[in-house]
Amino acid sequence: MGISAALVKELRQKTGSGMMDCKRALVESKGDIDKAIDYLRKTGAAKAEKKGSRDTKEGIVYSYIHAGGKLGVLIELNCETDFVAKTDGFRDLAHNLAMHIAATNPMCLNRDSIDINTLDREKKVLLEQARAENKPEKIIEKMVEGRLTKFYQENCLVDQTFIKDQEKKISDILSESISTLGENISIRRFIRYAIGEEINFSKDYI
């Protein structure tokens, strides 16, 4: 079927993908924009890992204020070019991440950014809990490791389950966006504000 230039342009603006990739996706999906976006996600998955080491010096600072004005989030989301930073797909990603942060209140961005004193304290508590169950030392080590993984999943943004899709983690959402938008993407930092609560300043994402 014939694919119009306007349709290719629309898909490119939504995803930031290359012109030929967009045209191919539209041909495969018979002109259906939503199916074309899914196609780009699938075919781009293998490229995401290669893009993961590229510099991200562009991007946006996105603000989200929850209904009622008592809760808000600022997030710095980076990409490689100003072109991608202006796409609907990139801004949608920033919006979804900010909404997720507002809902889950992560302690930090990733495992490397956890405060060392907080982590040591958590390990000590988990170790004491495991030993109180009178298990063999080898079993205790595995118990602590498993419970520490759960701690990461609850408190580190990239390890958390995405609120809009319980089958995916935030890291999966980032990988999919890298594939779809065609550039490396990284979360630099975020701040969550809530009336009456202390501000949680996340450390930089390294």
Residues 96 and 84 occupy one common structural domain:
yes
What DSSP assignment string belongs to the chain?
Answer: ----HHHHHHHHHHH---HHHHHHHHHHTTT-HHHHHHHHHHHHHHHHHHHTTS---EEEEEEEE-TTSSEEEEEEEEES-HHHHTSHHHHHHHHHHHHHHHHH--SBSSGGGS-HHHHHHHHHHHHHHHHTTT--HHHHHHHHHHHHHHHHHHHBGGGSBPTT-TT-BHHHHHHHHHHHHSS--EEEEEEEEETTS--EEPPP--
Residues 109 and 120 occupy one common structural domain:
no
Number of domains in the chain: 3
Residues 11 and 96 occupy one common structural domain:
no
pLDDT at residue 10, rounded to an integer? 85
- The predicted-structure confidence for 52-84, as pLDDT tens digits, reads as follows 456 788 999 999 999 889 999 999 999 999 999
Residues 88 and 165 occupy one common structural domain:
yes
Instruction: Name the band, by pLDDT with cuts 50, 70 and 90, for residue 41.
Output: confident
The parent domain of residue 83 ranges over: 57-114+156-206
Residues 83 and 148 occupy one common structural domain:
no
Residues 109 and 169 occupy one common structural domain:
yes
Residues 109 and 119 occupy one common structural domain:
no
Q: What is the pTM of this model?
A: 0.69
